[in-house]
Structure 1
Amino acid sequence: METSKIWTNDAFSGVELLSASYTKFEFSKHWHDELAIGIIEEGAEGLLYRGNNLLVPKKHIVAINPAEVHTGFSGTENGWRYRMFYFDLSALAEQFKTRGLPIDPIINRPVIYDEDLFTVLLNLHLALEHASFALTKESLFTLALEMLFTSYGSAKLEAPNPIDMKSSYEARDFINDNFDSNPSLADLERLSNCSRFQLIKHFNLLFGVTPHQYLLLVKVQKAKLFLAQGMSCVDVSLACGFYDQSHFNRNFKRAFGVSPSNYL
């Protein structure tokens, strides 16, 4: 079965997203004005790129630089299922300008095997498809581009600095006090006076989770407490700032292994 879906998300301008599954379909020769980054979820994609036939298997990342002519076709009998990001170059420049780095949107290899980056890209794509908190989308977006460009592009890793404990604790306390109003990464950035990536990195080193993961942990812990006090699932979902009941159910079960109604 061949399916495809393309969309944008209001959280980020200049980023187009595709989720597709193809068996017999073949792309003719074409190029993108954007930087195209994809993740192969199942099967394998064949790729004619710079005169070479390449195979991009499951759990691998495909990177097509702007204006590069290429094709795409099935690399297995059963086809391939994948997700793509198309990053407008101005959107990339905007993301990195706070670091003072010139961004040449060239990725140095078309096929990448990097489990950590694959996971971040997959989680980002899913967050931009389904209901997700602003902090989740912004954090994953920052992490994904930072990891991609520092490992396989033109951006260089910043020299390691001591953990900024003060800013990390301020961010943690702000999340604790405002978990129900869904603080954004921009809120934490202003509060801590750190760059987004520095804040995420230092917070993770100090607490073992990123800010968006911590926000979800606080929400489900509060939800568990409210349920134990006799509040209904609907009231708890609203009180904890979840988007809707399904969003609440999904995250609660992921944390505790049972649905809120079963726990109640």
Structure 2
Amino acid sequence: MGNSTHQNTKYWLIPEFDNLELFRAKALRFSYARHSHPSYSIGIIEAGVGGNYYQGTTYLAPPKSVIFMNPEEAHTGYSAEELPLTYRMLYPSIDFIQQIAAEVQIDGFPYFRDAVVQNEVLSRSVFSLHAVLEYSQERLEQQSLLVEVLSAILLHHATLKTCSIRLNKEHQAVRLIKEYLPG
């Protein structure tokens, strides 16, 4: 992580949902260096403006925005403007997303088309899901809402793309560089 002032953050995971990772930050001023996640990244902005550099473009996400990032795609993250940022993130695994995709008859590798979506209804749905995953002890309630929200996201905001081929090419490039280097 780069520069940050953490006022209130929480990170946890839920093993029952393929180690679903969750993160919540309140009143945060931060700047994350370029990094990637092995999972999908789905988040909402509650207050402040989030910024990131992703896929060659700078994105700004005001309140009620929904953020989507695909696995292994490098990005930065920062609180834009002088206001502290409050946001929530979910990091579902590739396998978990593919299971949900199969349930709604999506075959292949789901790929998010847009990094930031302005959709107040979807933002409220993701917020409700995140809150249920944080506070409810009822696994059936958690699972039902998780499947419902992720299914809607996949049906309305994902397309199919052969990302795995691109990832394999990146890995092949690393292998070729290692073979070229002495030692």
Which TM-score tier does this pair reach, normalised by the shorter chain? Answer: 0.7 to 0.9
**Do the aligned partners of 1:17 and 1:85 also contact (CA within 8 Å) in 2?**
yes
1:183-202 correspondence runs (5 A):
none
- Whole-Å Cα distance in 2 between the matches of residues 39 and 127 of structure 1? 15
Residue 6 of structure 1, aligned match among 7, 11, 19: 11
**Do the aligned partners of 1:39 and 1:61 also contact (CA within 8 Å) in 2?**
yes
User: How many residues were matched structurally?
Assistant: 155
Q: Which amino acid aligns with 1:42?
A: A
Find the counterpart in structure 1 of residue 99 from structure 2.
Answer: 94
> Where is the helix percentage greater, Structure 1 or Structure 2?
1
- Whole-Å Cα distance in 2 between the matches of residues 141 and 130 of structure 1? 14
The alpha-carbon deviation at position 116 of structure 1 amounts to 2.0
- Whole-Å Cα distance in 1 between the matches of residues 29 and 127 of structure 2? 24
- Whole-Å Cα distance in 2 between the matches of residues 72 and 4 of structure 1? 15
- 1:60-83 Cα deviation digits (max 9, x unpaired): 011111111110111121221100
Relative to structure 1, the CA distance from residue 77 to residue 96 in structure 2 (aligned partners, 3 Å threshold; closer, same or farther) is same
Q: Which amino acid aligns with 2:31?
A: E
Matched, 1:32 2:37: yes
Q: Which amino acid aligns with 1:37?
A: I
The alpha-carbon deviation at position 98 of structure 1 amounts to 3.6
- Whole-Å Cα distance in 2 between the matches of residues 143 and 68 of structure 1? 25
Relative to structure 1, the CA distance from residue 92 to residue 83 in structure 2 (aligned partners, 3 Å threshold; closer, same or farther) is same
- Whole-Å Cα distance in 1 between the matches of residues 75 and 21 of structure 2? 19
Find the counterpart in structure 2 of residue 42 from structure 1.
Answer: 47
- Whole-Å Cα distance in 2 between the matches of residues 69 and 48 of structure 1? 9
Residue 109 of structure 2, aligned match among 91, 100, 104: 104
Q: Give the structure-2-normalised TM-score.
A: 0.77
User: Identity of aligned pairs, percent?
Assistant: 29
Find the counterpart in structure 1 of residue 87 from structure 2.
Answer: 82
Q: Which amino acid aligns with 1:91?
A: F
- 1:183-237 Cα deviation digits (max 9, x unpaired): xxxxxxxxxxxxxxxxxxxxxxxxxxxxxxxxxxxxxxxxxxxxxxxxxxxxxxx
Give 5+ residue unaligned stretches, structure 1.
Answer: 156-264
Secondary structure in 2 matching 1:81: strand
Q: Let me know the Cα RMSD of the aligned residues.
A: 1.8
More off after superposition, 69-78 vs 15-24: 15-24
- 1:75-122 Cα deviation digits (max 9, x unpaired): 121221100000100111222334443142311100011222211111
- Whole-Å Cα distance in 1 between the matches of residues 27 and 51 of structure 2? 12
Q: Which amino acid aligns with 1:147?
A: A
**Do the aligned partners of 2:104 and 2:151 also contact (CA within 8 Å) in 1?**
no
Q: Give the structure-1-normalised TM-score.
A: 0.55
1:51-90 correspondence runs (5 A):
51-90=56-95
Find the counterpart in structure 2 of residue 244 from structure 1.
Answer: none
- Whole-Å Cα distance in 2 between the matches of residues 76 and 142 of structure 1? 35
